[in-house]
Amino acid sequence: MMEKFAVRLGRRVRRCREAMDAGMSTAEYAVGTIAACGFAAVLYRIVTSGPVRSALTGVIERALHVPF
C-alpha cells in the first residue's frame, strides 16, 4: 500500500516539474527572440551606415564587372 502511494506521489512530482519547465522554456524563447531582434537591429544600422554601404557597393560592383 505504501509503495503504491510512493509511486503515485513520484508521478505527481514529475508532472509538476514538467509543467514548471514548460513555462520556463517559453520565457527563454521569448528572451532569445528579443535578443535576436535587437542584434538584427544593430546589424541593420551598421550595414546601412555610409562607410559600410559604400564598401559593400564597391565590392558588389567589382564582382559584377569581373571578366570570365
CB-CB neighbours of 59 under 10 Å: 10
Convert the pLDDT of each residue in 4-41 to its tens digit. Answer: 777 787 888 788 776 665 565 788 889 999 999 999 99
pTM over 0.75: no
Residue 63 has pLDDT above 60, yes or no: yes
CB-CB neighbours of 54 under 10 Å: 10
Retrieve residue 54's grid coordinates.
559604400
Convert the pLDDT of each residue in 31-55 to its tens digit. Answer: 999 999 999 999 999 999 999 999 9
List the one residue out of 32, 28, 51, 29 whose CA is nearest residue 40: 32
At 6, is the secondary structure helix, strand, or coil? helix
Please tell me the predicted confidence (pLDDT) of residue 20.
61
Please tell me the predicted confidence (pLDDT) of residue 22.
59
Q: Rounded to an integer, what distance in angstroms lies between the CA atom of residue 68 and that of residue 59? A: 17
